[in-house]
């Protein structure tokens, strides 16, 4: 039986060169400019509250430009 991947999917915004408030309308003003994505409910547990928040996972965007400095690298132990 294959194990289910429970790790949440990450947004491509984390690796985008334009991910700055003055360059991206999504980050700066919350305007939906991306082409593909989904809304997920995630827990936002803190010591004071146990609540749920909605996050947007962007998977396609016409303004996406890879940023070599910000791209996550996998590190083997």
pTM > 0.85: yes or no: no
Is 34:26 a contact under the CB 8 Å cutoff? yes
CA–CA distance, 40 with 53 (Å, rounded to integer) = 8
pLDDT tens figures, 46-63? 777 778 888 899 999 999
Nearest Cα neighbor of 55 from 1, 14, 2, 3 is 14
The domain locations on the chain are: 12-60
pLDDT score of 5 more than 60? no
pLDDT of residue 76: 57
Q: Is the pLDDT of residue 22 over 60?
A: yes
């Amino acid at each position: 039986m294959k194990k289910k991947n429970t790790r949440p999917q990450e947004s491509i915004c984390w690796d985008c060169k334009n991910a700055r408030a003055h360059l991206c309308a999504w980050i700066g003003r919350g305007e939906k400019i991306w082409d593909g994505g989904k809304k997920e409910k995630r827990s936002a547990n803190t010591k004071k509250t146990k609540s749920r928040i909605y996050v947007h996972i962007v998977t396609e965007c016409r303004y996406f430009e890879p940023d070599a400095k910000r791209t996550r690298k996998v590190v083997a132990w």
